[in-house]
Amino acid sequence: MREKDLIELLRSTIESDAIVSRLFNLYYIEYKYTLEELNKIIDYGVQNNYFTIENVNDGSINYTEIDWEADNTYQEVLMINKECNIKQLFSGKGSVPNEFCQFIDNG
């Protein structure tokens, strides 16, 4: 994923703006990333306790996988320890935290 797009994705998990319908339409439809690529990033985040996938209306409901649909407004991806990455992601143009650099592909 291009670095600027990955920064935007990670920022959206902090800003509670990573509702699946938005991610699907922006990253899959508009930016043309594959769902496999999106799943790799999100699965990595979930498995390593960086992200949680929650119900938009009830944060006590968690999911282990995403229902990739354009109209999925019930799931969102949230960063768990926001404080650890806020400064790095939001200072100046921002930068990708080391844990997610493996997903950068500017080619």
Q: What is the pLDDT of residue 107?
A: 66
Report the alpha-carbon distance of residue 6 to residue 17 in Å, rounded.
14
- DSSP assignment letter at 52: E
> To which residue do tokens 């990253």 refer?
27
pTM over 0.85: yes
Tell me, what DSSP letter sits at residue 69? -
Asked if residues 38 and 23 have their Cβ atoms less than 8 Å apart, the reply is yes
Q: Which residues pair with 76 in a beta bridge?
A: 19, 54
Dihedral angle of Cα 93, 97, 100, 105, to the nearest 10 degrees: 30
Asked whether 5 and 41 are in contact (CB, 8 A), the reply is no
Tokens of 84: 């650890």
Convert the pLDDT of each residue in 8-44 to its tens digit. Answer: 999 999 999 999 999 999 999 999 999 999 999 999 9
